[in-house]
Structure 1
């Protein structure tokens, strides 16, 4: 074999073994070296090319691994016959990975964003650090399909103290967000169930296995209109009674009673209670959960840690009535928990030692101040803007007396570096509003920036600012 065909460029950035490997491989593919040809020994080729035998050995080993060469003990290296397949030598691709960058607005009034500056990073890091240790090696295995018992126990205790909910850890199922848990509930309740949903309401619900089974029910200032529910053939209703999303309405005491009575009238009737934003209430006493009032095992309670801790934690849970536990075990015994075990134990320990309650109390004060600032600005400077849903939660609804449509106003705001979200995004069935109506989330806006953000939004919409009355 003519060894002169293998010329190596020692100034090239490509390693010598790779240059040699490519040279021999190309010669074999293009039939420049015949099948059965014996390659030079490592020693001879190393001497000829003035390189180390180790370099030769690495190149030969790769050729053997890919089937171009065979090694015969004490005899040498021989070219193998390769399949006569079409071969295209490709130039190396210079691939640039483009990161999908979302636009960052100066003011983003998204209702789901939280105050990140107030998160207790040092304490969370302490609990995370204490777990990521060899002593926690058992957590590397798959855990309980309903979620870690320690976390379910802490959730059960917390809900009893804060919401009056009586439950056992065995009734609780943990999952990575409402979007993961809802399909499980829908499957549990059966494919023939008819679901009633608030209109406007949680926008992800219709996209999850409901198709033509969704029946929209109107919402007013007292929450879901139960009288309209009773006129339908629905046997399951999904509701956010503590702070209706997105209107902010609180289900009145009378309607709570009527809704529980509706559920009690049918064996297969159930209420899915999403306790959205229940932790943050600014006017009056906390509203009791429907589950705590239920005497007939008709309420499936749901909640998350998205607002109370962080959306990225992806920890949500539901509490099943005892009457559905056996069916759940039969249907989902093969499932695995979708929240990492380490994350569950960090949260459980954080709750166990009282830091979750302390954090929640602190955030209530912070969001209350933001809420008061927001409403005070509108009442003082923009009295024509109608505010609703301001009793609880981390957003309000504003209706602006303008002739332009919601989409046009949203685009005008975006052009001025402001993100705002129309209520029409959450409609299951069209509703005619007197004025364009928007959700105005304040969770992620710093307290000292709220006034500036509101003024800029109103200014870009040409809503005049009313001067403060003089005080004597």
Structure 2
């Protein structure tokens, strides 16, 4: 081997062994040193390059560990035969575009934010520590496909007490979020089934239907929720709705519309309603409204919910309740299924619920969110000459209708320049819908109550909206 191939820079910040290793590796990859060729002994190469044998030894050891060379006892090191390697020169490396970082605003009215300062960490830590010992070693094994029975039992109790939903643990399937559970529900229906979605609605839900190549009818929403008469004009057999607090408008499905929806579903054996009860725990006016499932006498409602709002988004625990007929179909299709939620997490939630801490946490959070809700609506009352709010009966966001000479996009840009995150209603429509209204979602869950008034004043100032005279 021509030892003059390598020129080491002794004044470089890069260690000598690393320079030698890189030079040898490059020569092997580019076939400048052929397969089977013997490398110089450590003594000879050290003398030639005027470096220590230890430096040579470290470089050779790294090449040996990575399979570029092989060692023959008392003979020396030889170049190993290697497969084509996914190696590219630095100057020809492919540049992978970075994912854009999520913008962090000084004031953020994101409707998905929660109050992270009020989470009961000490109690949660207690239940986590109790599980992490030898007595829970069985949880290291795979659990029940539909989720742990203990958690499904607690969910069934909670649904009956708080939402009027009567179901057995056997009807409940636990999974890691709506993104995982909704595609499972879609597979319960044949490929020709047509679906209907609220418009506006969850963009992520619409994407899931599209990705699974399902035909979707967008159904308009008004102040009473989804318009059932529009649904009846379609050939849809399954409709996805958020009746307790329509997302994103905040409308609550009226009693008349609820009856119409259930009657629509009862007219055909193939019709079903997917009820997403995503934030029903938080209501600020009137009596709690039972779930649509609680009014169903024909087993036509697939009930869905999650702990995203009530506990934390990062928990990734959601669930659905299947009618008996669809449960049989589920068991046929998903016989291979394994729950995607870690068993330890499921048992922490189950024990947290079993001992009454979930109910206590919800009661506390209702008070906190009510204070924030009232603070927000009171602050906005000072600007009613230019704004109007709806959807304030429940949930953790309201809908703000702005009377302004600027467009929705221009107002959003002004807010961004003031370091305020605000979210136009137009982005939640399934298809581009011409509208003259300028409307925004104002989430208040993640804003400290003492900052809400200032946040509203800052927003109105950047839009040059004055207080009522």
TM-score grouping bracket, smaller chain normalisation: 0.7 to 0.9
Pairs within 5 Å for 1:98-247: 100-210=100-210, 211=213, 213-247=215-249
After superposition, give the CA deviation of every residue in 1:317-376 in whole Å (9 maximum; x if it has no partner).
110001111110111121222222222121111111111111100000011111111111
- RMSD, matched Cα: 3.5
Gaps of 5+ in 1: 468-472
Partners of 1:336 and 1:294 lie apart in 2 by 30
Offset of 1:46 from its aligned partner?
A: 9.9
* Residues 425-464 of structure 1 mapped to structure 2, 5 A cutoff: 425-431=427-433, 433=435, 435-464=437-466
Whether contact under 8 Å (1:413, 1:457) holds in the other structure is yes
Q: 8 Å contact 1:301–1:319 — kept in the other structure?
A: yes
1:255 and 2:257 aligned: yes
| Matching of residue 77 in structure 1 with residue 79 in structure 2 | no
TM-score, with length taken from structure 1: 0.86
Offset of 1:408 from its aligned partner?
Answer: 1.2
Alpha-carbon distance, 1:236 to partner: 0.8
Q: What secondary structure does 1:143 align onto?
A: coil
Q: Note closer, same or farther for the CA distance 1:81–1:429 as it changes in structure 2 (3 Å cut).
A: closer
More displaced 10-residue stretch of structure 1: 82-91 or 181-190: 82-91
Cα deviations by residue, 1:186-207 (Å, 9 ceiling, x for unpaired): 1112211111111222222221
Quote how far apart the aligned CAs of 1:428 are.
2.2
1:355 match: 357
Aligned to 1:366: 368
Deviations 1:372-429 (A, max 9, x none): 1111122234344111111111111111111221111111111111111111111124
Measured in 1, the distance between the counterparts of 2:414 and 2:286 equals 37
Gap change, CA 1:8 and 1:116, over 3 Å in 2: same
| Contact kept? 1:175, 1:338, Cα under 8 Å | yes
1:397 pairs with 2:399: yes
Distance 1:466 1:64, change over 3 A: closer
Counterpart-to-counterpart distance in 2, 1:78 and 1:237: 70
After TM superposition, list the pairs within 5 Å mapping 1:272-311 onto structure 2: 272-311=274-313
TM-score normalised by the chain length of structure 2: 0.86
| Most deviating of 250-259 and 132-141 | 132-141
* Distance verdict in 2 for CA 1:23–1:397, change over 3 Å: closer
CA distance in 2, matches of 1:305, 1:456: 32
Q: CA separation in 1, counterparts of 2:229 and 2:416?
A: 40
Checking the alignment, whether the CA contact within 8 Å between 2:70 and 2:80 is kept in structure 1 is no
8 Å contact from structure 2 (residues 399, 440) kept in 1? yes
| Whole-angstrom CA distance in 2 between matches of 1:87 and 1:328 | 43
Whole-Å separation in 2 of the counterparts to 1:255 and 1:442 = 28
Distance in 2 between residues matched to 1:192 and 1:98, nearest whole Å = 39
- Residues 184 and 46 of structure 1, relative CA distance in 2, 3 Å threshold: same
Instruction: Give unpaired runs (5+ residues) of structure 2.
Output: none
- Residues in 1 aligned to 2:296 and 2:455: alpha-carbon distance in whole angstroms: 43
CA distance 1:12–1:274, change in 2 (3 Å)? same
Q: Is the 8 A contact 2:277 2:291 kept in 1?
A: yes
Question: 1:323 is matched with which residue?
Answer: 325
Deviation string, structure 1 residues 205-232 (Cα, Å, up to 9, x no partner): 2211345611122222221222222222
CA distance in 1, matches of 2:45, 2:97: 41
Show the counterpart of 1:470.
none
Distance in structure 2 (CA, Å) of the matches to 1:424 and 1:326? 40
Distance 1:43 1:140, change over 3 A: farther
Matches within 5 A, 1:27-38: 35=36
Shift of 1:145: 2.2
Q: Give the C-alpha shift of residue 144 in structure 1.
A: 2.1
Deviates more, 1:353-362 or 1:28-37: 28-37
